Structure 1
Amino acid sequence: MINFAQLPKGRGAQSDGADTNLAQAPVRQLTSQASTLIIYFSRSGNTEAQAQLASDVLRADRYELVVQQPYPANYAASVARATEERESQQWPILDLSDFPSLDQYQLILLGHPIWAMTPANPMYQFLAQMGQQLANKRVASFSTNAGYGAGDTQIVLNKLTPASTRMLPNYTVHDIELAKTTQAFKQWLQKMVIVK
């Protein structure tokens, strides 16, 4: 069970400097039975906790996105790098060398933080690079934010995954509210099974 009380809180959440995986390999929970795949990026661990909960509720597989050059552990330095990437449109390079075939999956859930009112740069890069592979899949996203909501997430999804079937609107939660919103998130996830 996830202990949300131990997760980082609010702006400036601490990172281990390796996209939550300094001491362990990226999450690759892949089976031959699951019909749902959760693809996510997490800097501080909040989105990873949501992805784990979603996986438990939906019995879904998980694939964590990692960048070749991890973001700094220092929050201000991460913000500066992310801003520079966005302004120059020089997105981070992802390591997708072991990305699975999507053939078995009917539903793809995308998990990401919100940075500057848009999906975090690694998720944006993933969608730009791989969005066409989500064609004919049911797609939805969930996000964590620092108090300003989901921003233009739905616009980005519509633009970068035009051939997929959009499910429910993005579920977003202020990162300091994770523990209080577990039931609401579970209800949103269960609607995925109902809405087809």
Structure 2
Amino acid sequence: MAENEWQDVKSLILYFSLSGNTESAATQIQDVTGGKMQKIKPVNPYPEDFDQYFKIAKHETELQLMPPVATAIDDINQYDVVFIGYPTWWGEPPRIIDSLFDKFSFADKKIVAFSTSSSTPFEATKPHMQQLIDDEHALMIAGFRCDGDIDHLKAEIAGIHLAY
């Protein structure tokens, strides 16, 4: 879809970010699509210190813990497309993404997943995301890794087909 075609699409950009990389990617997506941005926040905030949140994140991943989500979404049914963004932690989305799907119904929604990582491709996280989306009876219409290259991001968004 060309950039100007997004003006008629109501999109929500949900993202989880601790370092700011995923928030930056979400902002770039908002610039292209005009969607509403909303940060996924945990009930118990992660520490700001990298070493501390690294330990907590590793613990959550290893034990498959699902930190509760504090974020509220007003009337998710008003959106045609929901972008869900996250950093890649040990080849997977953070467990708070599972919590997001546990808290909200994305049934019948068109989902675009996007990840951030310095090296791990989106395909590493795709099976996990696909399972979450399939369990919700939603449809993943696209997925990609944001690497900071705005031209790459625009090309990925241009390749999204909403007519599924």
The TM tier, using the shorter chain, reads 0.7 to 0.9
Does the 8 Å contact 1:118/1:150 carry over to 2? Answer: no
Does the 8 Å contact 2:87/2:116 carry over to 1? Answer: yes
Uncovered stretches (5+) of structure 1, i.e. residues with no partner? 1-32
Paired residue type of 2:101: L
Residue identity over aligned pairs, in percent, reads 23
Q: Secondary structure at the match of 1:134?
A: coil
Alignment of 1:122 onto 2:96: yes
Aligned to 1:135: 107
Aligned to 1:149: 121
| Structure with the larger RCO, 1 or 2 (CA within 8 Å, 6+ apart) | 2
- The correspondence for 1:50, drawn from 13, 25, 30, is 25
- The correspondence for 2:145, drawn from 162, 165, 172, is 172
Aligned to 1:10: none
Tell me, in whole angstroms, the C-alpha distance in 1 between the residues paired with 2:117 and 2:70: 24
Paired residue type of 1:171: F
Tell me, in whole angstroms, the C-alpha distance in 2 between the residues paired with 1:34 and 1:124: 26
RMSD: 1.8
Distance 1:157 1:111, change over 3 A: same
Q: Secondary structure at the match of 1:142?
A: strand
Aligned to 1:36: 11
Aligned to 1:21: none
Compute the displacement of 1:195 (Å).
4.2
Tell me, in whole angstroms, the C-alpha distance in 1 between the residues paired with 2:32 and 2:16: 19
Compute the displacement of 1:129 (Å).
3.1
Compute the displacement of 1:151 (Å).
5.4
Uncovered stretches (5+) of structure 2, i.e. residues with no partner? 1-7
Q: Secondary structure at the match of 2:88?
A: strand
User: Alignment length, in residue pairs?
Assistant: 154
Does the 8 Å contact 1:117/1:151 carry over to 2? Answer: no
Q: Secondary structure at the match of 1:127?
A: helix
Aligned to 1:70: 45
Tell me, in whole angstroms, the C-alpha distance in 2 between the residues paired with 1:34 and 1:102: 14
Per-residue Cα deviation, 1:75-108 (whole angstroms, up to 9, x for no partner): 2221211111122222212103x32111111111
Paired residue type of 1:182: I
- The correspondence for 2:132, drawn from 157, 160, 171, is 160
Per-residue Cα deviation, 1:55-89 (whole angstroms, up to 9, x for no partner): 11111111111112221222222121111112222
Tell me, in whole angstroms, the C-alpha distance in 1 between the residues paired with 2:94 and 2:62: 13
The structure with the largest helix share of the pair is 2
Q: Secondary structure at the match of 1:128?
A: helix
Aligned to 1:60: 35
Aligned to 2:83: 109
